[in-house]
Structure 1
Amino acid sequence: MASSSDSNSVDMDPDVARRLFEEGATLVLLGVPQGTELGIDCKSWQVGPRFRGVKMIPPGLHFLHYCSINSPRCGNEIGPKTGLFLSLKPREIIVANWDPKEEDLDFSASKNEEEVNRIRATLRELDPYLGPYPYEVMRKWVSLTDRLSEEVANSLQPLSGRICAYSDVIPETEYRHTQDRAEQPRNDTACQSMKEGLDRLPKMKVREGTELRFSHIAKKTYPNGATPAEITQCSMDLSYALETVLEKNHGQQPLNLLGELQFAFVCFLIGDVYEGFEHWKRLLALLCRSEESMRERKDLYLGLIAVLYHQLGEIPPDFFVDIVSQNNFLTTTLQDFFQFASGPGIDAALRKRAEKFKAHLTKKFNWDFDADMDDCAPVVVELPEGVTVD
């Protein structure tokens, strides 16, 4: 989308292109500054001077994302990424105008039927300024979101409708009066300790309506009134905690948890939202360490293997060195999963699928899931009192 001529040089079957033009949705994005990084689903571009939007978008769920270039808010550097999920219907036209003050897209024009009809009537004239949907990444996008429905995406997306790479935080307490501010710790003297420095900072909270609405995963993994033996069991087998999350958040549709896993992954991989990665890890640990649920929920776990197969296929191998392999998170979590999947009472189809997935990961990443992970842990040596190491 660096220019309209570049945008239209897509190698696509003419019949497919014609059908997508006639049946596909159109995003008309007006006033987006040149140089803005903008993308849909798994691909992004720098906007050129003639850009007016994206055409030939397959109906369904999509992730639109963008960030300003030369943003005054960020010292004339690239701004933080903003994204939103859109569920598009055949031949639908969505209109948005760039708001330079907010450095964001304003979709209010889409609610103006007269404006949308005007755009529809001139769509042929607008066509040279519309970049085609990146058809070559459609298969990848579908594989990453095939379990994510519009309903689930809407329930997890912030009420503000925007998924931001950085949280929008505000002070927990607003000091509107001079006397209130005067009573706060002063910052004109040197701090005597790290704790004092942290105490001087204002307590912040995420602005209401901007937080992702992920399922809450409680730290307590056992029911009230549990005996010591039950607490131990629920700490080793997280099925109680998993079933609690399913009941509270996904009711009669437990497979929607896989949609939430995909939502969190897309937020991190494409939206640059680290909170998405943290939630993905928590969900994955919960699923992989729930032995009893694995026996009872064959379809959920067959789906989990398929979801992970595509997700791990999209992450560069060196990524694991930097983030995922810290504390051996992924390898230890999957080691528990494969151990439970080979245990008694597991459905034969699930057992076989898990064995194939294990072999695939071992070949792709050279991970050894049969090794004793404790052997790789650092050894802590306690020195006698008074002895130090320089």
Structure 2
Amino acid sequence: MDQITAKKLYAEGGIFVFLEVPEGTEFGIDMKSWNTGEKFRGVKMIPPGLHYIFYSAVSDTGDTSPRTGFFHNFKRSEVIVKKWDKKNECISSESVSEAEVVHFKDNILALDNFLGPYPYDIWEKWVNLTSEITSDLVQKLTPCSGYIQSALELESCSDADRPRGKKGGETQDCSSSKKARLSGDAEEGFLPNLKAKQGTELRFTPFPERNYPAGSTPAEITRHSLDSSFLLDTMIANYSKSTELLGELEFCYVCFLVGHSLEAFEQWKKLFSLFCSCDTAVKKHRKLYDLFVSVIEIQVKEIPEEFLADIVSNNNLVYTKLRNLFRAVRNSDVDGQLKAKLSRFQKNLTDLYQWDFEHLDSDEEDEAPVIVET
């Protein structure tokens, strides 16, 4: 990087000061992570915009704790100061005074040698992965605690909080352990009743209990089961703009890819499957689907090999659902521009992963109807 560019980035970029971090702690921003050294005090030259900062405590024996992170939208030349909590091995909950922050701003040059530069080689990729995530969306989806954890904090349910029953006559109460033992499922009977600690769970948009309108006939229920366009419209109604649902898809992906949250991965799978399971919605939300293809194309390229291996063992969710999407668009009367974009995407996937998208109208072996002789 030339000196003129470096000086501009240094003047306009944000600075994250992280004090008293133990040597060897895993620390990262966006898609890069390192183990801190003795001189580490934070990161400088952070481009203005949304970023994800994360860390994991590392023991003397090299064991790494679950990852914790948070989003922050850095303003131009903004300085954020945080301190390490030695007792709890995390960012201190005590806020840094404004006077102390001003002190660091005024003496930032003295810290220069202790601040690592932002890794600009990943900046363009990061911007593409978070193109639809807004500050309002982050605030809506982030846990009340402000931090996203790869392993949820669990606590025992009190008697008042313990679930008492489910729809359809199923019950789950304090006698469930006894019932499980009587039925022979001893292991399940001895499992404790746990729930996520209040304020630590991600606040994703909930899926409705049914994917069809109230009062639907059996034929209509079947139609909505085959075409999830009604469900997509229902989910979009939770937002002021339809593109915010794509923002949630990106939020889930980042929380899984960088934050290691399996909770986010489950929501990502549900949203991804929903977009790929619609027929009439493709034409109704044509611009949204154009953006969806762009988002998924970037995400698929960043999926690590172990992620793909998990998908393959699960009947390859991405491949199966994309076949549905390609089939729906090919058989619809949407404009040729979107069809051409999907055709290019399909070819890129075949070149990258050798996925076969020929014969889209034929059922996959695991999806084909089962013929039973009577």
The answer to whether residue 24 in structure 2 is matched with residue 31 in structure 1 is no
Q: For residues 190-339 of structure 1, what are the structure 2 equivalents within 5 Å?
A: 195-247=185-237, 249-251=238-240, 253-317=241-305, 319-323=307-311, 326-339=314-327
1:52-82, Cα deviation, whole Å (9 max, x unpaired) = 01000001100001100007xxx87210100
* CA distance in structure 2 between the aligned counterparts of 1:173 and 1:132, rounded to whole angstroms: 47
SS in 2 for 1:38: strand
* CA distance in structure 2 between the aligned counterparts of 1:260 and 1:194, rounded to whole angstroms: 42
SS in 1 for 2:72: strand
1:343–1:55 CA distance, 2 compared to 1 (3 A): same
1:134-188, Cα deviation, whole Å (9 max, x unpaired) = 111101111111111111111111010110011111111269xxxxxxxx89x9x
The answer to whether residue 343 in structure 2 is matched with residue 358 in structure 1 is no
* CA distance in structure 2 between the aligned counterparts of 1:46 and 1:76, rounded to whole angstroms: 11
* CA distance in structure 2 between the aligned counterparts of 1:318 and 1:98, rounded to whole angstroms: 32
- Provide structure 2 residue ranges, at least 5 long, that are not aligned to the other structure: 161-173
Instruction: State the Cα distance separating 1:218 from its structure 2 match.
Output: 2.6
SS in 1 for 2:7: helix
The correspondence for 1:165, drawn from 127, 143, 150, is 150
1:69–1:58 CA distance, 2 compared to 1 (3 A): same
1:100-156, Cα deviation, whole Å (9 max, x unpaired) = 11211126444x211111111110101110001111110111111111111111111
The question of whether the paired residues in 2 share the 8 Å contact of 1:289 and 1:337 is answered with yes
Q: For residues 90-101 of structure 1, what are the structure 2 equivalents within 5 Å?
A: 90-101=76-87
* CA distance in structure 2 between the aligned counterparts of 1:237 and 1:380, rounded to whole angstroms: 21
1:305-326, Cα deviation, whole Å (9 max, x unpaired) = 1101111111134532223551
Counterpart AA for 2:70: L
* CA distance in structure 2 between the aligned counterparts of 1:97 and 1:280, rounded to whole angstroms: 32
Instruction: State the Cα distance separating 1:344 from its structure 2 match.
Output: 2.7
* CA distance in structure 2 between the aligned counterparts of 1:293 and 1:341, rounded to whole angstroms: 10
Counterpart AA for 2:186: E
The correspondence for 1:47, drawn from 28, 31, 36, is 36
Specify the alignment match of 2:167 in structure 1. Answer: none
Moved more, 273-282 or 317-326: 317-326
* CA distance in structure 1 between the aligned counterparts of 2:225 and 2:150, rounded to whole angstroms: 33
User: With structure 2 as the length reference, what TM-score do the two structures score?
Assistant: 0.89
Instruction: State the Cα distance separating 1:201 from its structure 2 match.
Output: 2.2
SS in 2 for 1:375: coil
The correspondence for 2:51, drawn from 62, 78, 87, is 62
Counterpart AA for 1:156: L
The correspondence for 2:63, drawn from 48, 73, 77, is 77
Instruction: State the Cα distance separating 1:345 from its structure 2 match.
Output: 2.5
* CA distance in structure 1 between the aligned counterparts of 2:39 and 2:182, rounded to whole angstroms: 57
Counterpart AA for 2:86: P
Counterpart AA for 2:242: P
1:200–1:325 CA distance, 2 compared to 1 (3 A): closer
Moved more, 124-133 or 213-222: 213-222
Q: For residues 133-212 of structure 1, what are the structure 2 equivalents within 5 Å?
A: 133-173=118-158, 195-212=185-202
The correspondence for 2:112, drawn from 114, 118, 127, is 127
The question of whether the paired residues in 2 share the 8 Å contact of 1:82 and 1:162 is answered with yes
* CA distance in structure 2 between the aligned counterparts of 1:192 and 1:370, rounded to whole angstroms: 52
The question of whether the paired residues in 1 share the 8 Å contact of 2:227 and 2:278 is answered with yes
The correspondence for 1:341, drawn from 305, 320, 329, is 329
RMSD: 2.5
SS in 2 for 1:140: helix
The question of whether the paired residues in 1 share the 8 Å contact of 2:14 and 2:45 is answered with yes
1:232–1:218 CA distance, 2 compared to 1 (3 A): same
The question of whether the paired residues in 2 share the 8 Å contact of 1:25 and 1:58 is answered with yes
- Provide structure 1 residue ranges, at least 5 long, that are not aligned to the other structure: 1-11, 176-183, 383-390
* CA distance in structure 2 between the aligned counterparts of 1:28 and 1:208, rounded to whole angstroms: 29
Instruction: State the Cα distance separating 1:91 from its structure 2 match.
Output: 0.8
Identity %: 39
* CA distance in structure 2 between the aligned counterparts of 1:374 and 1:351, rounded to whole angstroms: 22
1:194–1:79 CA distance, 2 compared to 1 (3 A): farther
The question of whether the paired residues in 1 share the 8 Å contact of 2:157 and 2:193 is answered with yes
1:203-248, Cα deviation, whole Å (9 max, x unpaired) = 111111111011111351101100111101100110111110110x
The correspondence for 2:2, drawn from 13, 17, 21, is 13
Instruction: State the Cα distance separating 1:198 from its structure 2 match.
Output: 1.7
1:47–1:318 CA distance, 2 compared to 1 (3 A): closer
1:377–1:255 CA distance, 2 compared to 1 (3 A): closer
Instruction: State the Cα distance separating 1:377 from its structure 2 match.
Output: 6.2
Report how many residues are paired: 355
1:33-61, Cα deviation, whole Å (9 max, x unpaired) = 10000000010000000000100000110
SS in 2 for 1:327: coil
